[in-house]
Chain A
Amino acid sequence: GAGVSQSPSNKVTEKGKDVELRCDPISGHTALYWYRQSLGQGLEFLIYFQGNSAPDKSGLPSDRFSAERTGGSVSTLTIQRTQQEDSAVYLCASSSGQGVNIQYFGAGTRLSVL
């Protein structure tokens, strides 16, 4: 079956613009995670969804970042008024349920803010 799919694979934007990053999890996976991978900070957790609710948003770096998940499936990470420090690879992962299950990762979206 298909793995975790992220789009776009690359996004170049100008400082101050809004961007939306999309994640399609593995079918049937109820848990979905967003992480950010940057040179200075390594791999950081951003937000976690169980179904459509987000019990842990503790990693979102500022109120410019938001995410939603609809229908227990697709998730969108939105960054408003992008800044150069937002440049990073944004990774999405999904897992099958409660507890610490294996997280399966997508290939990521590389965001470049000019």
Chain B
Amino acid sequence: AQSVTQPDIHITVSEGASLELRCNYSYGATPYLFWYVQSPGQGLQLLLKYFSGDTLVQGIKGFEAEFKRSQSSFNLRKPSVHWSDAAEYFCAVGAPAAGNKLTFGGGTRVLVKP
């Protein structure tokens, strides 16, 4: 069975500083990887995805993520954080062999200091 670990429960970052959120996955085959963001009281919005190809993927809102097979990681980055980036971020893995369901990490809550 697949699993996802997000080691950081909370991260506080100053506005304008860079942000990196860690994600490690466990899956026996090539994973399909996703990052979603959830603002308070909202559903999940897709930031970016990795299915195959270039291991550095660009997403919305200036986010990017890099797939590293050797490290089983898919870390999310943003060079300069805005106050509106305060939210909870979820990494997820999906695979057809698992009934297409997504398995999520526990989430990382990002607080942005002015």
Q: Which residues of A pack against B, CB within 8 Å?
A: 4, 31, 33, 35, 42-43, 45, 48, 55-56, 58-59, 91, 93, 95, 98-100, 102-108
> What is the interface of chain A mostly: helix, strand, loop, or mixed?
strand
Q: How far is the CA of A102 from the CA of B106 in the complex (A)?
A: 20
The A-B contact count (CB < 8 A) is: 55
CB-CB under 8 A from A58, the residues of chain B are: 99
The chain A residue with its CB closest to the CB of B95 is: A100
Q: How far is the CA of A35 from the CA of B92 in the complex (A)?
A: 13
Q: Are A91 and B43 in contact (CB under 8 A)?
A: yes
- Chain A nearest CB, measured from B43 CB (Å): 4
Q: How far is the CA of A73 from the CA of B94 in the complex (A)?
A: 23
- Chain A nearest CB, measured from B31 CB (Å): 9
Q: Are A100 and B96 in contact (CB under 8 A)?
A: yes
- Chain A nearest CB, measured from B25 CB (Å): 14
Taking A98-B96, A100-B32 as known contacts, 8 extra A-B pairs with beta carbons closer than 8 A to each other, sorted by chain A number, are: A42-B104, A55-B99, A56-B101, A100-B51, A103-B102, A105-B36, A106-B43, A107-B43
Partner of A56, one of B34, B99, B103: B99
